[in-house]
Amino acid sequence: MKLDVLLGHLLVGTLEHDPATNRFAFAYAQQWLRAKDCFALSPQLPLFELPGQPADAHSAAVRQFFENLLPEGQALDAAASSHRISKSNLMGLLVALGGETAGALRLRLDDVGTEEREGVRPVSDAELSERIRLRPQLPFSVWDGKVRLSIAGFQDKMALYRSTAGWAIVEGVDLASTHILKPEPVSSALAGLTSNEFVCMRLAKAAGLPVAPVELIHVPEPVLVVTRFDRRVREGRIERLHIIDGCQALGLSSGFKYERPYGDVRDVRQIRDGASLPRLFALLADTAQPAAQRLQLLRWTIFQVLIGNTDAHAKNLSFFSGPEGLSLAPAYDLVCALAFDRQALAGTYAMAIGDAFSEDELCPYEWANFAEACGLNPKLVGRELTRLAKATLAALDRELGEAIRLGAKAEPVAMLEQVIRTSCRRQIDMAPEIPSAC
């Protein structure tokens, strides 16, 4: 089984699977290697074969990279069921879902004569509303009998193209979705999530973080609309930008997006084999602008703490990947998780600050511990913590009122306000002690 891997119209390489050995292999195309601006898709998939790398190690790296292109949770279940493919059949799922992934990659059967379909299928607000209401019976990712989503995450979402004519599902090389639409979750335990995320994204922008643009629409159900930062409109064409998430960059499967991949219970909580902040900071040491990139990651980390986003895992962090290496993409999926019941969203951090996995455990010593593990100056950490906490508090009143005016619900906004105010004040108090806590 072979699949062509393309960036736009360009053949980058070939993905192969041998069912007899269950091994995967990826090789860059010669025309890609000859291109002046060619680059590795990921640090874990170098342009040239690593000397002495065992076939099993190469297979694992390839599988981990490509499986991270698939959705998770119910969306993956729906894709497997709709196409009558086992969830463990990576190649089959990539054939079904590889036409449009997060980033620029497209996958297709390696038949140069294959004609790729072009199409624009309008989606009205009325149909969108109906599909939101039908989610208990019909997965939101399935439209016209076909799964239309290959974007990681458990939350319901749909990738659509927006033009002056409205929303549409599109297919084709020069057409691609431009926005991600996220309705309220079906679970009542997560009621108000669209308002929560809307406010947190606006707060991040007000505090100076690069973030994906968001808006809140009503069809009449509330829907958070996120502008895709991996898309760019040029001369009537949609240009896809290559991005990878934190798991792809680290060479981890999606099951290791949390630092404690086996859970927080007593017998396994000491095992920290998953994605971690020190590993992510180490990735940026060899970038074109390491100091700027590491500062951006530090600010991203601090802001997760300030808003109580305990679910900030490695797949909620992305990097642009190109000829100059990695650079951090804008922030997304920013949510005040602590505003929800602990049964709905965990109260422990997805990735520890030092050795602190919760807000209660976080103290000046753990911030200093974090700084040392990540190769950061503790004074810098303290200054940025103070600055961002004060900037977030200063923006809070203005952004909360504006968010409600733009359609956010008052109750979830009030709940997250209490969490964020308390967190910011606590961090401001402890920040001066970080340099001396080493």
Place of tokens 């600055």: 387
| Alpha-carbon gap, residue 223 to 344, rounded angstroms | 20
Q: Can you state the angle between helices 193-206 and 378-405, rounded to 10 degrees?
A: 130
pLDDT at 33: 95
Name the CA radius of gyration of the chain, rounded: 22
pLDDT, the chain, mean: 91
Query: Mean pLDDT throughout 106-124?
Result: 77
pLDDT at 116: 60
Tokens read off for 217 = 């629409």
| Alpha-carbon gap, residue 100 to 81, rounded angstroms | 19
Q: Whole-model pTM?
A: 0.93
Query: Mean pLDDT throughout 294-308?
Result: 98
Position 391 pLDDT exceeds 90: yes
Q: Which residues are catalytic?
A: 311
Tokens read off for 423 = 């967190």
Query: Mean pLDDT throughout 381-390?
Result: 98
Position 112 pLDDT exceeds 60: no
Position 245 pLDDT exceeds 60: yes
Span 242-437: which CATH code? 1.10.1070
Residues of the chain with CATH 1.10.1070: 242-437
Question: What residues contact residue 288 under an 8 Å CB cut-off, 6+ apart?
Answer: 324, 325, 327
Query: Mean pLDDT throughout 396-409?
Result: 93
pLDDT at 411: 95
pLDDT at 84: 83
pLDDT at 45: 94
The pLDDT tens digits of the residues spanning 223-236 come to: 999 999 999 887 77
Place of tokens 């004060």: 390
Q: How many C-beta neighbours within 10 Å does residue 73 have?
A: 12
pLDDT at 114: 53
Tokens read off for 407 = 């359609």
Query: Mean pLDDT throughout 273-281?
Result: 97
Position 115 pLDDT exceeds 60: no
Partners of 13 in the beta sheet? 5, 28
Query: pLDDT class for 74, splitting at 50, 70, 90?
Result: confident
Query: pLDDT class for 122, splitting at 50, 70, 90?
Result: very high
The pLDDT tens digits of the residues spanning 158-206 come to: 999 998 889 999 887 778 899 999 999 998 889 999 999 999 999 999 9
Q: Could you tell me which of 350, 224, 381, 171 has the C-alpha nearest to residue 276?
A: 350
| Alpha-carbon gap, residue 46 to 11, rounded angstroms | 16
Position 86 pLDDT exceeds 90: no
